[in-house]
């Protein structure tokens, strides 16, 4: 199943609620929420109270991406605020097993992410325990960077490992530089959930760009 998850990092923060609606009307099934703490990554973005407000009028799946040093400490806040998927980084300071279990206990779907320099094998011990793997296709921290095509062997290796283990329903998400020029490459490598920030939000017509992305991902 092909899923488009617009990254709200690229929207006008003063119009976030309206932008969520516009994306949903355009056909986006998920909404990607980038949480940055100014420590794990240099930037600071938004926290759980913003998600809680958005959720009052949101029909899409809340896809929370924690780029923070200690996710274990904050997953409860995001679960209570209405997160559906919670992604944390294997490179963070929290114990991955404990973090996955806590996310599951809170009723959310756990997802584990790797930065560009982290090999696929780093998340192999956790594959049976998560619903999604997020492969970063840029260095996390900022929107609008160029897609790293050299991450495709990593996507492929994770998809192959999942298939080998019978994990046929695993979502593999890619995040960073996804546009109508790059989405097919990521889809061919095995990704099925596509985060896109600047490419979607700079387009004048949300429905047109989301439809185009879905079509190009169908390879
Ligand atoms: C980067 C964030 C991404 C970012 C993607 O650290 O995790 O979600 O918003 O933005 P684009 O699509 O512009 O690369
Ligand atoms: Zn993200």
Does residue 173 line the site of ligand 1, with CB under 6 A?
Answer: no
Does residue 176 line the site of ligand 1, with CB under 6 A?
Answer: yes
The residues near 21 (Cβ < 8 Å, ≥ 6 apart) are 57
* Residue among 134, 145, 200 to mutate when testing ligand 1 (max atoms within 8 A of CB): 145
Does residue 10 line the site of ligand 1, with CB under 6 A?
Answer: yes
pTM of the full predicted structure? 0.98
Q: What is the pLDDT of residue 7?
A: 98
Please give the average per-residue pLDDT across 171-175, as a whole number: 99
Q: What is the pLDDT of residue 219?
A: 82
Structure-block tokens of residue 29: 């099934």
What CATH number is associated with residue 10?
Answer: 3.20.20.70
Q: What is the pLDDT of residue 214?
A: 98
Q: Name the burial class of residue 99, with classes exposed (0-12), middle (13-18) and buried (19+) by CB atoms within 10 angstroms of its CB.
A: buried
Each residue's pLDDT tens digit, 119-172: 999 999 999 999 999 999 999 999 999 999 999 999 999 999 999 999 999 999
Which segments of the chain are extended strands (E)? 3-6, 30-36, 61-67, 85-89, 109-114, 132-136, 171-175, 193-196
Quote the domain boundaries for residue 80.
Answer: 3-217
Each residue's pLDDT tens digit, 23-81: 999 999 999 999 999 999 999 999 999 999 999 999 999 999 999 999 999 999 999 99
Please give the average per-residue pLDDT across 103-118, as a whole number: 98
Distance from the CA of 43 to the center of ligand 1, in angstroms? 12
Alpha carbon dihedral 189, 191, 197, 199, in 10-degree steps, equals 50
Count of the separate structural domains present in the chain: 1
Alpha carbon dihedral 188, 178, 22, 3, in 10-degree steps, equals 30
Please give the average per-residue pLDDT across 111-124, as a whole number: 98
Told to judge if 34 belongs to the known catalytic residues of this protein, a careful annotator would answer yes
Residue from 37, 63, 131, 175 carrying the catalytic annotation? 175
CA 16 to chain centre: 18
Which residue's CA is the closest to the ligand 1 atom numbered 7? 140
Told to judge if 77 belongs to the known catalytic residues of this protein, a careful annotator would answer no
Does residue 198 line the site of ligand 1, with CB under 6 A?
Answer: yes
């Amino acid at each position: 199943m092909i899923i488009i998850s617009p990254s709200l990092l690229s929207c006008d923060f003063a119009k976030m609620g309206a932008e969520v609606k516009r994306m949903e009307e355009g056909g986006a099934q998920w909404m990607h929420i980038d949480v940055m703490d100014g420590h794990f990554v240099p930037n600071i973005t938004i926290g759980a109270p913003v998600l809680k407000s958005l959720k009052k009028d949101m029909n899409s799946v809340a896809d929370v991406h924690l780029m923070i040093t200690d996710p274990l400490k904050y997953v409860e806040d995001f679960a209570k605020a209405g997160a559906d998927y919670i992604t944390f980084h294997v490179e963070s300071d929290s114990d991955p097993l404990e973090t996955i279990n806590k996310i599951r206990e809170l009723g959310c779907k756990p997802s584990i992410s790797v930065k560009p320099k982290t090999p696929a094998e780093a998340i192999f011990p956790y594959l049976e325990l998560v619903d999604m793997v997020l492969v970063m296709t840029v260095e996390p921290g900022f929107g609008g960077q160029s897609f790293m095509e050299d991450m495709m062997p990593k996507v492929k290796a994770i998809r192959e490992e999942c298939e080998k283990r019978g994990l046929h329903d695993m979502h593999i998400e890619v995040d960073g530089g996804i546009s109508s020029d790059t989405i097919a490459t990521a889809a061919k490598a095995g990704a099925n959930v596509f985060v896109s920030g600047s490419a979607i939000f700079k387009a004048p017509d949300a429905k047109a760009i989301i439809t185009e992305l879905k079509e190009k991902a169908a390879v």
